[in-house]
A and B are shown apart, each in its own frame.
Chain A
Amino acid sequence: MKERLTVLVCGGTGCIASDSDEMLIVMQDKIKELGLDDEVRILKTGCFGFCGQGPIIKIQPDNIFYVKVKISDIDEIIEEHIIKGRIVSRLLFDDPKSHKKVKAHRHMDFYKKQFRIALRNCGTINPEDISEYIASRGYEALAISLQEYSPIDVIKIMKDSGLRGRGGGGFPTGLKWEYTYNQDVNQKYIICNADEGDPGAFMDRSILEGDPHSVLEAMAIGGYATGATRGKIYIRAEYPLAIKRLEIAIAQAREYGFLGTNIFGSGFDFDVEIRLGAGAFVCGEETALINSMTGLRGEPSKKPPFPSEAGYKNKPTSVNNVETLANIPAIILKGSDWFNTIGTPMSKGTKVFALAGKINNIGLVEVPMGTTLREIIYEIGGGIIGGKKFKAVQTGGPSGGVITEQHLDTPIDYESLKAIGSMMGSGGMIVLDEDDDMVEISKFYLDFTQEESCGKCTPCRIGTKRMHEILERLTNMEGTPEDLDILEDLANNIKYTSLCGLGQSAPNPVLSTLEYFREEYEAYAYRTKKTAYTIIDDKCIGCTKCARVCPVDCITGKVKQVHIIDEAACIACGACYDACPVNAIEKP
């Protein structure tokens, strides 16, 4: 390539929402207008992961990482950086700790501790161009598998690597493939589970948007290993960009002969088809997913038989998650011994987490298993917004629980999270600060699961509804101390008697917050919970700001005198809290 500079514009959902698509066009037009189009190449890439700082533009080989770029900044980037070679420092990342500008992404705390396997190509290649994937050793793992390994060899590599399912369960991938392989049936299937339903997790979306070919390649390898000639991707309809990128990738892979008949002259046939979900959380459960794919309601079935024996159309089927698949080509290329050295004794490799909530650096992070929460939250995540106090981290979404201060130094892997009452889940991490009310958070999750319950089994259908009603009663200050016992009893019953994973794990958010934050439940149950805002006398400077914004006029006081809130009239809207310049108002 003759180009002097390459400009990478993030084309992930987050950045596109802030007009990165339009920026790309404006930039291309300007560069053309200036006659620089043979010197400067402008590319749309997948997600860089640092979504809280979007839209992101990276310039290579200078290795400059611009954040929060606006369309109005494009002229300056072109005139200063591209033409004159001067960095536009006001668009550089402002480190929340040192308050210094950082030029290169590898010097940012957010990226320093990351180790990227599944996200290796996200943000570095153009996901809509297969040749860029090939240039980064794309489809080489498929070629090696087909030409040098037998299906049993591939399964052995997977088993030796220790790779486990990244969708939540953590089942060993090699074993899953082996079970499917062992079935002596002609037609088999491999399904990519891209029904990322956990609210707050978006790694699968980013992988599909940023590196769709790695998933297709892994499916073909899995097809070869298990004996499946048909692959299906079950994807949420809520991810239109990922669907579009997948469609482009499938068409290109067919054109290049990486999908279709007689791949690499090996005699192996494999093709992939997309199936859309329609907004049902339970469809992330593999048997429900398979039912949904055949055009039925997404209700789970009893296991056994497992999908590896009787899955899609009653044929042996291996269901693998997006992030799991994205790891596979790298494992084939670098070997199981390499993968084995990363992580903890029971959990090998890396895990992608979606950091969100009350944290400074929001985005996707991929770290080796065994990294501690403290490292993720305080080093990579840059700590809590506004210097507030950390309260808990919620992992595993509606199926998981909270991790509190005391467990911040636990090395994260499948077993350790389970031991402290949470779970890995798909990797969503919602950081909560001192302002968050744990009972409200549990109610939020219960509201989600009781609505998403498919209704097939009674404990989940009725039980979650009753639990939600109790939480509703408590937060309305209409509960009693006995409610807590009923809640706990009900939660345990649902956990042990529900049919599928959704129901069995639905009580987890309540059980885990009851364990670590019981006093918050008790404050509601004994009705000792404060519901009004109050003013701290010795902090109030009498500026009158709070009284002016109060929508119900319940704050009284004269200029330069301490103000008072009428607690009976306060509606707890928080307007005064936001208006106060000296933090003299206390939340309920």
Chain B
Amino acid sequence: MSNVNLNISELDQSLLVKLDQYIASLEDPNNSLINVLHKAQQIFGYIPHNLQLYISRKVGVSAARVNGVVSFYSYFTEKKTGKNVVSVCMGTACYVKGAGDILKELLKQLNVEKNDVSEDTLFTVKDVRCIGACGLAPVVTVGEKVYGHVTKDMVKDIINTYKERG
């Protein structure tokens, strides 16, 4: 694969220091790969190939294994995301209450494909597994903020809230 960037020196050094500190604090980093990846994604926002290679060397497992784990779990992303990650819950309760239509409306209004970054770099729209707020179905989250009982009409307002913040 020609588009795989494995150049570790391109990673932001100040962010790597934070990650190093976390890894150093672990009792058993070799067995805690998933926790390390969570931390890495929290610090960098996503886990590109060169970061995966860095982590593999740091915790002493093969890069293939790190990549295998990153690609296995839906929580980890190898692609850069927009500033605001808009997640539409696709659990059953939300699905039967029309979450599919909400997702389509979001993608239409933002003019993006699922999991891609919008042109203004502000948004990435994803579908997520049940977040367990079934009483509020259908549910959309933007970052940590949860919107419940979402209707197609509310989509525009939700988007505008984050557009105004820039």
Task: Give the interface of A toward B (CB within 8 A).
Answer: 13-14, 16-18, 50-54, 196-202, 205, 237-240, 275-281, 292-298, 313, 354, 356-358, 362-363, 394, 397, 428, 430, 432, 436, 441, 444-445, 454
Contacts and interface: CB of A to CB of B under 8 A. Distances in A.
Contacts of A196: 132
Interface in B28-72: 30-35, 37-38, 61, 65, 68-69, 72
B136 A295 contact: no
A14 B146 CA distance: 9
A17 B73 contact: no
Interface centre among A237, A278, A297, A430 (most CB of B within 10 A): A278
Contacts, number: 133
Nearest to B59: A295
Nearest to B137: A356
A432 B72 contact: no
B133 A202 contact: yes
A363 B148 CA distance: 14
Interface in B100-137: 128-137
Nearest to B98: A574
24 contacts: A14-B136, A14-B148, A16-B146, A17-B133, A52-B135, A196-B132, A197-B130, A199-B130, A200-B130, A238-B129, A238-B132, A276-B35, A276-B38, A280-B74, A295-B33, A297-B72, A298-B73, A356-B93, A357-B92, A358-B96, A362-B134, A436-B96, A444-B95, A454-B72
A54 B130 contact: no
A124 B73 CA distance: 36
B147 A17 contact: yes
A295 B134 contact: no
A139 B37 CA distance: 35
B162 to A, nearest CB: 17
B66 to A, nearest CB: 9
A295 B148 contact: no
Given A14-B136, A17-B148, A238-B132, A441 B34 contact: no
Contact of B38 (A54, A239, A278): A278
A533 B131 CA distance: 34
A50 B134 CA distance: 11
Contacts of A201: 130, 132
A356 B96 CA distance: 10
B86 to A, nearest CB: 15
Nearest to B38: A276
B140 to A, nearest CB: 10
B92 A430 contact: yes
Contact of A430 (B37, B93, B147): B93
B148 A18 contact: yes
B93 to A, nearest CB: 4
Contacts of A200: 91-93, 130, 134
Contact of A275 (B35, B91, B128, B136): B35
Nearest to A358: B96
A297 B69 contact: yes
Contact of A295 (B69, B76, B135, B137): B69
B90 interface: yes
Contact of B136 (A17, A199, A292, A441): A17
A381 to B, nearest CB: 12
Contacts of A237: 38, 75
